[in-house]
Structure 1
Amino acid sequence: MFYSKADTYQYSQPIASISEALLRTSRIYCPLDIDTEFTHLPYNLNRPTKEVSKTITVQIKEIASSEGKIYTHPDCADIAKHPIASYGFMPIDHLVAAGHKCVLTRVNQPTKLPVIQFDLYGFFLTAELYRIVQGAYRDDIDELVRSKNPKQGQIQMGRRLIASTQFTGNKREPWVYLPWVLELDGHMLQVALSFYDTCAVHGAVNYATFCANCGVKLKYKDTFTVEEKKQMIKMYLECTKRFVDYAPGDLYNRQALIKNMDRFRIIYSSLNIEEYFEAPRLTIGATVARIVRSKLLQFLGLDIKEKNQVIEFCRYGTAKYFKEYKRTTAVYNAKVDGGRCRNNRPNVARSKRLIADADIAGCYGNGLKHQDYPLGRPITLDYPLRSEINDYLTLRQFLKKYRKELVPGLWQARVSTPDDYLLKYSQDFLVSWHPPKNPANIPTDTELENTEWFTEDNIGTTKIYSKQVNLALIQEDFLNWLENTCTARQRKELLDKLHIVTAVFYPKSEQCTTVPQFLEALKKHKGKNTTVAKVRRGQSKLIRIEQECHAWISVNMGDLLVNDLLAARSMYSKKVPEQKPLNNLYKLCINTIYGDMVSPFFDIGNVVVGNNITARARAMAWYMEKGLNGFQTITDGCAFEVNRVISAKKDRELRSEVLFETYTKEVKGGFNVTPLGSEQEIEHYLYREGESSQVGLIIEGDKYDNQQSLSWLGGQITIHLQKQFPNIPVIDKFKFEIKDIYTSASFHGTANYKFWIGDTEKKGKMRSYKKLGYDAYQLPGDDLQLLTSNYTPSEEFLRDLRNKPKRIDRCKTYLFNKILKPGEYKKNYETSWKNSEAFPGCTVESARLLRECSLTQFTFQSKKQFDSWEREQKRLRDRTGQSYESWFINDSGSLDFQEMIETLDEMIRRGGMKYASSREASKHWNLSREYSDHPEYKCLLKAKHQLDIRYGRVEMEDSQETAEAPIEVVRGD
């Protein structure tokens, strides 16, 4: 049960005698797998109770044991069928059950005694954290979760639950000390906690998949159905045998980690880097980063002890390195932009034509194969961050000076138009970014999953503006677009009006072709950095000259690693149960490499590499969007009508000016709208295959089944785009795959959609809405009335968009539930959770309405215009529960969504600064007379108020008085 030596999750020197062990070491380890069973209690929203959750049992297993033990939680002492856990920290009950004499006491602060470190293993340990402690011991855990002092220890949840304490020199250790002293068999020990949360070891998979991938068999994981799991107290009482089989099934996390290590030995071996093997970490990102580093060591001919040398070569391209430039524009290079996400046809809510859903095949994986990875120090052009007198180079000047030094794929720049300038010729290729107030806080793509609050304070805003550019990322694919797709006048304007705010490039003149040449160049370099101040009244200046070594070498990512991973994966079939786990792991490794490139947490990351991969994908997505006349572009694909793609007129070429807002120009004749790859309109037929409906195509008389149709369409996309956009290299680097063919669809915002095959509907996609239904309410009188427990607002809305876009039924108030995470709990503790019985790991609810009007649907001309509309929309929502919907309500109370989006789009395209300016009443300060409340707004406010009672945000005795107050008083919510 106890060990005197630990290397992460590997233990040695098991302890036979604690007395003897403490003569050799001042820290002993007690690793335990833990899990709990709990239930969330039903309640009446009209008379809400504060008790949110009840823990039924705690399961604990020492890592060397094959079976765990079950303890009844004190919450269920009245129905106990197992020993009742009685200690403030319940793993102590397990020590006592094993025959140890234990006394646990709280002290004012951690002591200098020898340490017993409890290493707790679990999957999503946040769910267990507060359930294995009680009383004042739970308060101690709560204090660490809310702690803002890393030196006193913190418990945090990013990708996984971690404990950390900062010591001298900013060194962090993965444990926290508690103000607890354990007397164990007569020995006084200071208690420390460390967590081994396995929920991110294989990325975003569940416990069953994680165990299957590792080769751990779970006999009883499917003992209970989903419905039975909602009634776990009943299962405990009435199906005790099944419960006893089921409950310990989540106690195999440490075993899975050991088996996972064996899997990765196979992966290292297949890459011929066995001598560089490192045990897998607790996140897949960290594990794969070490594989990449090992391959770089091998490429450079270094051994594992020389990894610091590789870290130094890589350091100058990492996000962390650029974040250190807090006073110059170089800090903007720390951000890696994400995928393109845009509504290309914002006045279209539905289509009943033949639709194909196309993707770029293996978008980021293939992007890696086409990408070189550089080692060495790039050249960075930057300026003082907050100066008003920066004399930026124009894009034309930058290219004249440095074009011959720019290696495709190994340079990037951020460009802006002057503050007071609006472009004469509209564009939608460049994506603007307005950084947070402190750019050093920029999170990258992989960090965003850990970011609880997406606000301008932490990520800024990213948006496409048609007449303004701000800190947009450019690289080689932008130059290809500029030179081959823009008209002469638009190209001239962009060359002269885009200013280089910062740039990073690996100079062609400094490139080394062999490793010995690279190492020799570093060794021979003798440059010096100098600073000279020239002081002259009114003309003083500071001249800095840096002569760092900029020699560099690169290796193709495909040759380095990706091709070998793809080849190794092909040896394991996903159709053979014994081989599927390794097939999954290889795929996971390939998909994780991109994330590692852009993460600030890994020493092998490179923002230039990351930005070139994503920019290449964004460029490809632009050509797809324009050439296929797509509806919405979502990172690596778009849906389009197969009989309505865009092609150039005879003896003409498609230009970006013509392709801007094509949905307004179809009748003007600047291009042709034709079937894809066919002279005649493509017909279709429906047929059954098993339980599902399939679409087949009829192309010029030939009948294709579904698979043949998908393959034909994928090939035709390449042919079509190559023909419409000649001389564009990125189109040759990707292939396309069709997910399926549909007969109708509805679209909303930038990335919300739903497809149909005949009358058979597919599950819709709408961000922030889950597949399972919600509780929906109405307010017929003073009390809320439950309408249904299976309300799916996104599905009903998207269904209405397809069936009756001019008569959309208004949505209902519903309760959205989610797991309360430590980050949100800490951030909003004082305002939301201080007086609540909810704690991290509980499911908590909030009252919501689906908002039909989304400004993301439209492309604005400038940030000033977007901000103006956004402010107006927020003001209306805060006041009435809805925004522009007020002006498009039919006599029946339904919403004319189609008229709304057409009206708003027309105003925004013409440069209108807000909707109010179009209303005659606003000129006489009477616009508020036209406002109307959302029909469910009072219900929403009532539901929010009742939840505030449940979570202790308002006092129970004040609730009646508040509920009866005038509605304007409550609207500040």
Structure 2
Amino acid sequence: MFYSKADTYQYSQPIVSISEALLRTSRIYCPLDIDTEFTHLPYDLNRPKKEVSKTITVQIKEIASSEGKIYTHPDCADIAKHPVASYGFMTIDHLVAAGHRCVLTRVNQPTMLPVIQFDLYGFFLTAELYRIVQGAYRDDIDELVRSKNPKLGQIQMGRRLIASTLFTGNKREPWVYLPWVLEIDGHKLQVALSFYDTCAVHGAVNYATFCANCGVKLKYKDTFTAEEKKVMIKMYLEYLKRYGDYSLGDLYNHDALIENMEKFRIIYRSLNIENYFELPRLTIGATVARIVRSKLLQFLGFDAKGKNQVIEFCRYGTAEHFKEYKRTTAVYNAKVDGGRCRNNRPNVARSKQLIADADIAGCYGNGLRNQEYPLGRPITVDYPLRSNINEYLTLRQFLKKYRKELVPGLWQARVSTPDDYLLKYSQDFLVSWHPPKNPANIPTDSELENTDWFTEDNIGTTKIYSKQVNLAIIQADFLDWLDNTCTARQRKELLDKLHIVTAVFYPKSERCTTIPEFLKALRKHKGKNITEAKIKRGQSKVIKIEQECHAWISVNMGDLLVNQLLAARSKYSKKDPEQKPMNDLYKLCINTIYGDMVSPFFDIGNVVVGNNITARARAMAWYMEKGLNGFQTITDGCAFEVNRVISPRNQQRLTSESVFEIYTKEVKGYFNITPLGSEQEIKHYLYRDGESSQVGLIIDDEKLDNQQSLSWLGEQITIHLQKQFPNIPVIDKFQFEIKDIYTSASFHGTANYKFWIGDTDKKAKMRSYKKLGYDAYQLPGDDLQLLTSNYTPSEEFLRDLRNKPEKVERCKTYLFNKILKPGEYKKNYETSWKNSEAFPGCTVESARLLRECSLTQFTFQSKKQFDSWEREQKRLRDKTGQSYESWFINDTGSLDFQEMIETLDEMIRRGDVKYASSREASKHWNLSREYSDHPEYKCLLKAKHQLDIRYGRAQMEDLKEAAEAPIEVVRGD
């Protein structure tokens, strides 16, 4: 049960006698697998109870034992079927059951006693954290969760639950001290806690999949159905044997970690880097980052001791490095931009044409195989951050000065248009970024990875504006677009009006072709950094000359690692149950490499590599969006109508100007709208394949089945785009795959959609909504009335958009439930959770309405215009529970969604800064007379107030003030 030595989750020197162990060490380890079973208590929303959940049992197992033990939690002492846990920290009950004499006490001052460190293993340990302690001991845990002082210790949840304490010298240790002293068998020990949360070891998979991938077999994981799990107290009382088998099955996390380690030994051997083996970490990103680093060591010919040298070579491309430039524009290079997400046809809510859902095949994986990874120090062009006299180079000047030094794939720049300048010729290729007030706040902590909210406060906002550009990333694919797709007048404007705010590039002249040449250049470099001040009244200046070594070498990521992983993966069958776990693990590693490259959390990450991969994908997505006349572009693909793709008329060519706002030009004959790859309209037929309906195409009178149809369409996309956009290298680098073919669809916002095959609907995709149904309510009188427990607002809304976009039924008030995470609990403690019985790990609810009107559906001209509309929308929503919907309500109370999006789109395109400007009443300050409340607004306010009572935010007598409370409406995207 106790050990003298620990190397993360490997333990040695088991302790037989604590007395003898304390003679040779001041810290002993007690690693335990833990789990709990609990139930979310039902309640009447009209008469809410404060009690949120009840813990039934606590399960604990020593890591060396084959089976654990069950202890009834004090919450269920009245129905106990097992020994009732009595200690404030319930793992002590397990020590007592093992025969140890224990006394646990709380102390006011830190002690200088030897330490007993409890290493707790579990899957999503947040669920267990507050359930294994009680009374004042739980208050101690709560204090660490809410702690803002890393030197006193903190418990945080990012990808996983972690404990950490910052010691002198910025050294962070993965444990926290508690104000607890354990006297065990006559020896007094200071208690420390450390967590080994396995919920991110293999990425976003559940416990059963994690164990299966590691080769740990769980006999009883499927003992209970989903419905039975909702009534676990009943299962405990009536099916004790099944309950015991099921609950003890969650105590094999340490076993899974050891098996996972052996699996990664196999991976290291397959890559010929077994001499560089490192223990897998508790997140897949950190594990794969170490594999990449090992391959770089091998590439350079270094042994494992050369790790720090490799980190030094990589350091100058990391986000962490650029964050150090807190006073210059170089700090803007710390961010890697994401994928393209845009509604290309914002006035279209549905289509009943033949639709294909196309993706770029292996978008980021293939991007990685074609990408060079540089080692060395790049050139950085930057300016003082807070200065008003920066004379930025124009894009034309920058290219004239440096273009011969720019290596495709290994340079980037951030460009902006001058303040208050609006482009004459609209564009939708470049994505603007508005950074946080302090760009150095972009999260890059390599250990914690614990950012709960990616908001304007830490990464800023990204958006496409048609007449303004702010800190947009440009690289080689942008220049291809500029040279081959722009009209002469638009090219001239962009060359002269885009200013280089900062740039990073690995100069072609400094490139080394061999490792000895690279190492020699570093060794022989004799440059000096010089600063000189020249003083002259009114003309004083400071001249800085930096002569760091900028020699560099690169290696192709495919050659370095990706191709080897693909080859090793092919040796394991996806269909063989014995081989599938290794196949899946190799696939996970391949997919994670891209994430590590673009992540700010790892020392082998490179922002130039990351931005080139994502910019390449955004460029490819733009050509798909335009050439296929797609609906919504979502990162690596878009849905489009098979019989309505774009081609130019009269031997002309498609330009960025001609394809801008295509949907407004269809009836004006600017271009041809034709079937993809065919002169005749493509017909289709439906057929059954097992339980599902499939769509097959009829090409030249030949019937193709679904798979043949998907392959044909994928090939035709490449041919079509190459023809419409010649001389664009990125199109040749990718292939396309079709996820499926559909006969109708509905669209909303930038990334919300639903497809149909015939009359069979497919699951909707709508951010912030779960597949399972919610409790929905109405307010016929003074009390809320439950309408259904299976309300699916996104499904019903998107179904209405497809069937009757002019008569969309209004949504109902529903309760959205989620697990309360430590980060949110800490951030909103004073306002939301201080007087609540809810704690991290509990399921909590909030009352919501679906928002039909989403401004993300539209492309605005500038940030100023977007901010104005957003302020107006928020003001309306807070006042009435809805925004522009008020003006588009039918006599029956339904919403004319189609008229609404057409009206708003037209106003935004012509440059209006708010909706009110179109209303005559607003000119006389009488616009409020046109407002109308959402029909479920009062119901929402009532539900919110009842939840405030449940969570201790309001008392019963506050009911009259409920109408003044701010409204919570979930974003659709």
Q: Same fold (TM over 0.5)?
A: yes
Q: How does 1:181-580 map to 2 (within 5 A)?
A: 181-443=181-443, 450-580=450-580
Any conservation in 1 of the 2:850–2:969 contact (CA below 8 Å)?
no
- Measured after TM superposition, the shift of residue 971 of structure 1 is 19
Per-residue Cα deviation, 1:852-900 (whole angstroms, up to 9, x for no partner): 0000000000000000000000000000000000000000000000000
Partner secondary structure for residue 968 of structure 2: helix
Moved more, 13-22 or 435-444: 435-444
Any conservation in 2 of the 1:446–1:598 contact (CA below 8 Å)?
no
Per-residue Cα deviation, 1:357-377 (whole angstroms, up to 9, x for no partner): 000000100000010000000
Q: 1:853 to 1:962 in 2, by over 3 A?
A: closer
- Measured after TM superposition, the shift of residue 970 of structure 1 is 19
CA distance in 1, matches of 2:492, 2:415: 15
Q: 1:618 to 1:557 in 2, by over 3 A?
A: same
Q: 1:961 to 1:652 in 2, by over 3 A?
A: closer
- Measured after TM superposition, the shift of residue 812 of structure 1 is 0.1
Any conservation in 2 of the 1:338–1:445 contact (CA below 8 Å)?
no
Any conservation in 2 of the 1:445–1:599 contact (CA below 8 Å)?
no
CA distance in 1, matches of 2:966, 2:363: 55
Any conservation in 2 of the 1:360–1:736 contact (CA below 8 Å)?
yes
The unaligned stretches of length 5 or more in structure 1 are none
Any conservation in 2 of the 1:211–1:217 contact (CA below 8 Å)?
yes
Q: 1:635 to 1:2 in 2, by over 3 A?
A: same
Q: 1:964 to 1:305 in 2, by over 3 A?
A: closer
The unaligned stretches of length 5 or more in structure 2 are none
Which consecutive segments of 4 or more residues in structure 1 shift more than 6 A? 444-449, 963-973
Q: Normalising by structure 2, report the TM-score.
A: 0.99
Any conservation in 1 of the 2:768–2:971 contact (CA below 8 Å)?
no
Any conservation in 2 of the 1:941–1:970 contact (CA below 8 Å)?
no
CA distance in 2, matches of 1:463, 1:247: 47
- Measured after TM superposition, the shift of residue 241 of structure 1 is 1.0
Any conservation in 2 of the 1:336–1:444 contact (CA below 8 Å)?
no
Moved more, 586-595 or 191-200: 586-595
Any conservation in 1 of the 2:150–2:166 contact (CA below 8 Å)?
yes
Any conservation in 1 of the 2:33–2:251 contact (CA below 8 Å)?
yes
Q: 1:970 to 1:819 in 2, by over 3 A?
A: closer
CA distance in 2, matches of 1:440, 1:243: 50
CA distance in 1, matches of 2:742, 2:375: 47
Any conservation in 2 of the 1:110–1:180 contact (CA below 8 Å)?
no
Any conservation in 1 of the 2:58–2:132 contact (CA below 8 Å)?
yes
Q: 1:449 to 1:481 in 2, by over 3 A?
A: farther
Q: How does 1:885-896 map to 2 (within 5 A)?
A: 885-896=885-896
Q: 1:970 to 1:354 in 2, by over 3 A?
A: closer
Any conservation in 2 of the 1:445–1:595 contact (CA below 8 Å)?
no
Partner secondary structure for residue 247 of structure 1: helix
- Measured after TM superposition, the shift of residue 598 of structure 1 is 1.9
Any conservation in 2 of the 1:949–1:959 contact (CA below 8 Å)?
no
Any conservation in 2 of the 1:446–1:599 contact (CA below 8 Å)?
no
Any conservation in 2 of the 1:202–1:588 contact (CA below 8 Å)?
yes
Q: 1:91 to 1:971 in 2, by over 3 A?
A: closer
Q: Normalising by structure 1, report the TM-score.
A: 0.99
CA distance in 2, matches of 1:207, 1:454: 26
- Measured after TM superposition, the shift of residue 458 of structure 1 is 1.6
CA distance in 2, matches of 1:23, 1:307: 35
Partner secondary structure for residue 653 of structure 2: coil
Moved more, 704-713 or 455-464: 455-464
Q: 1:166 to 1:284 in 2, by over 3 A?
A: same
- Measured after TM superposition, the shift of residue 344 of structure 1 is 0.1
Any conservation in 1 of the 2:108–2:179 contact (CA below 8 Å)?
yes
Q: 1:732 to 1:967 in 2, by over 3 A?
A: closer
Partner secondary structure for residue 249 of structure 2: helix
- Measured after TM superposition, the shift of residue 670 of structure 1 is 1.9
Partner secondary structure for residue 47 of structure 2: coil
Any conservation in 1 of the 2:48–2:949 contact (CA below 8 Å)?
yes
CA distance in 1, matches of 2:601, 2:666: 48
CA distance in 2, matches of 1:331, 1:513: 30
CA distance in 2, matches of 1:601, 1:459: 14
Q: 1:498 to 1:891 in 2, by over 3 A?
A: same
Q: 1:134 to 1:965 in 2, by over 3 A?
A: closer
Any conservation in 1 of the 2:645–2:676 contact (CA below 8 Å)?
yes
Per-residue Cα deviation, 1:111-152 (whole angstroms, up to 9, x for no partner): 110000000000000000000000000000000000000000
CA distance in 2, matches of 1:590, 1:741: 28
Any conservation in 2 of the 1:335–1:443 contact (CA below 8 Å)?
no
Q: How does 1:941-956 map to 2 (within 5 A)?
A: 941-956=941-956
- Measured after TM superposition, the shift of residue 244 of structure 1 is 0.9
Any conservation in 1 of the 2:394–2:498 contact (CA below 8 Å)?
yes
Q: 1:846 to 1:529 in 2, by over 3 A?
A: same
CA distance in 1, matches of 2:333, 2:884: 38
CA distance in 1, matches of 2:308, 2:972: 55
Any conservation in 2 of the 1:61–1:67 contact (CA below 8 Å)?
yes
Q: 1:157 to 1:800 in 2, by over 3 A?
A: same
- Measured after TM superposition, the shift of residue 702 of structure 1 is 1.2
* Match in the other structure for 2:63: 63
* Match in the other structure for 1:93: 93
Per-residue Cα deviation, 1:287-316 (whole angstroms, up to 9, x for no partner): 000000000000000000111000000000
CA distance in 2, matches of 1:103, 1:690: 64
Any conservation in 1 of the 2:317–2:605 contact (CA below 8 Å)?
yes
Any conservation in 1 of the 2:855–2:870 contact (CA below 8 Å)?
yes
- Measured after TM superposition, the shift of residue 442 of structure 1 is 1.7
- Measured after TM superposition, the shift of residue 930 of structure 1 is 0.2
Per-residue Cα deviation, 1:744-768 (whole angstroms, up to 9, x for no partner): 0000000000000000000000000
Q: 1:888 to 1:334 in 2, by over 3 A?
A: same
Per-residue Cα deviation, 1:512-538 (whole angstroms, up to 9, x for no partner): 000000000000000000000001100
CA distance in 1, matches of 2:971, 2:814: 18
- Measured after TM superposition, the shift of residue 446 of structure 1 is 10
- Measured after TM superposition, the shift of residue 668 of structure 1 is 1.9
Q: 1:683 to 1:75 in 2, by over 3 A?
A: same
Partner secondary structure for residue 234 of structure 1: helix
Any conservation in 1 of the 2:718–2:736 contact (CA below 8 Å)?
yes
Any conservation in 1 of the 2:850–2:971 contact (CA below 8 Å)?
no
Q: 1:445 to 1:529 in 2, by over 3 A?
A: closer
Any conservation in 1 of the 2:354–2:642 contact (CA below 8 Å)?
yes
Any conservation in 2 of the 1:878–1:972 contact (CA below 8 Å)?
no
Per-residue Cα deviation, 1:232-258 (whole angstroms, up to 9, x for no partner): 000000111110111111000000000
Per-residue Cα deviation, 1:912-954 (whole angstroms, up to 9, x for no partner): 0000000000011110000000000000000000000000001
Any conservation in 2 of the 1:446–1:595 contact (CA below 8 Å)?
no
- Measured after TM superposition, the shift of residue 651 of structure 1 is 1.8
- Measured after TM superposition, the shift of residue 959 of structure 1 is 4.1
Q: 1:116 to 1:448 in 2, by over 3 A?
A: closer
Any conservation in 2 of the 1:344–1:631 contact (CA below 8 Å)?
yes
Partner secondary structure for residue 49 of structure 1: coil
Any conservation in 1 of the 2:182–2:191 contact (CA below 8 Å)?
yes
CA distance in 1, matches of 2:305, 2:567: 29
Per-residue Cα deviation, 1:250-285 (whole angstroms, up to 9, x for no partner): 000000000000000110011010100011000000
Any conservation in 2 of the 1:339–1:635 contact (CA below 8 Å)?
yes
CA distance in 2, matches of 1:237, 1:83: 15
Task: Calculate percent identity across the aligned residue pairs.
Answer: 90
Any conservation in 2 of the 1:624–1:630 contact (CA below 8 Å)?
yes
- Measured after TM superposition, the shift of residue 671 of structure 1 is 1.2
CA distance in 2, matches of 1:285, 1:969: 34
- Measured after TM superposition, the shift of residue 93 of structure 1 is 0.2
Q: 1:966 to 1:411 in 2, by over 3 A?
A: closer
Moved more, 955-964 or 813-822: 955-964
Q: 1:971 to 1:366 in 2, by over 3 A?
A: closer
- Measured after TM superposition, the shift of residue 594 of structure 1 is 1.1
Per-residue Cα deviation, 1:800-845 (whole angstroms, up to 9, x for no partner): 0000000000000000000000000000000000000000000000
CA distance in 2, matches of 1:965, 1:626: 44
Any conservation in 2 of the 1:531–1:542 contact (CA below 8 Å)?
yes
Any conservation in 1 of the 2:878–2:966 contact (CA below 8 Å)?
no
Q: 1:743 to 1:578 in 2, by over 3 A?
A: same
- Measured after TM superposition, the shift of residue 484 of structure 1 is 0.3
* Match in the other structure for 1:708: 708
